[in-house]
Amino acid sequence: MRYKRWAGPAVLLLLCATAQAADDVWMTDFDAARKRAEELQRPMLIHFGADWCGPCRQMERNVLHTARVKEQISSSVVAVVVNVDKQPKLAARFGVTSLPTDLFIEPDGKRLMQSTGYRPASEYASSVARASTRYHDLLASRRPEEPKTPIAAVPQNDEEAPKAKVTSESRTEPVLDGFCPVALLKQRRWIKGSPQFTTEHRGQIYHLSSDEALESFDEDPERFAPRFLGCDPIIVWQTDRAVPGSTRFGAFYDDELYLFVSDENRKTFKENPDRYIRTRVVLDVDQIESVIR
């Protein structure tokens, strides 16, 4: 398989990442790392690299073994380094096509976060801490809640993004307020879809404007669906909350659609979009909060 390199020239020298991975925080045996993660109830960090990858060598030299990164890893995750040339099946299993790639997963394999390209030590350590927090928040959310005595609801004074758990009823509402995602991408026009042409993707309902549009969407839904399940990437990046964006504040970047809760967030995104999308947070539809606009 051919891999993309994110930055820096290729070098034809042997990468010492695998050799140095005997580091006390970096394991080289994936199965052993997964077993340890299960025992410690921690997420896994998988760092994919290769001997010929210049940015991988830079991360090996300047990031992976720094005191700050090692300290964060030792306290919160189980880390394993994977050389894609020596373990191609493992790279293929996780769909790795760009190097370096850092993937955070739960011990059972569910994805938490993914990022590609070189990142400085401070940013890398922060992403490790964030993945750990996200994992333990997910574990807490899965525990059955104790019955509580109902109390009177108190209105929230947070007009932009009030927090509330989504209900099964609200999930039946179409994404994009019922507008056709195919028309939006191909024509850059807000055309209302029809319940006659309905499909589902990742637990969300979409209305398309025609049978042809429906067929196009079903052939490649990821091409047309908004990123982050339609949630505001600024809020996801800042708080790990999944708050739906609005069709009033949309933007395309590299032909991918992003929705925001406000024009301010949209402008913030446009200033440095890669900052907010380089680390892909894996969201589930059950994590999306309902918002009353």
Residues assigned a catalytic role: 53, 56
Burial of residue 203 (number of CB atoms within 10 Å: 0-12, 13-18, 19+)? exposed
What is the β-pairing status of strands 98-99 and 4-5? parallel
Torsion of CA 123, 134, 71, 44, to 10 degrees: -100
Q: Does the bond joining 147 to the residue before it have cis omega, within 30 degrees of 0?
A: no
- Contacts made by residues 205-213, CB under 8 angstroms, sequence distance 24+: 205/171, 205/172, 205/173, 205/174, 205/175, 206/174, 206/175, 206/176, 206/181, 207/174, 207/178, 207/179, 207/180, 208/180, 208/181, 208/182, 209/180, 209/182, 209/183, 210/180, 213/180, 213/182, 213/183
Token pair recorded at residue 85: 């040339």
For 23-172, strand residue ranges (E) read 26-27, 44-49, 78-83, 98-99, 101-105, 111-116
**Within a 10 A sphere around the Cβ of 140, how many other Cβ atoms?**
8
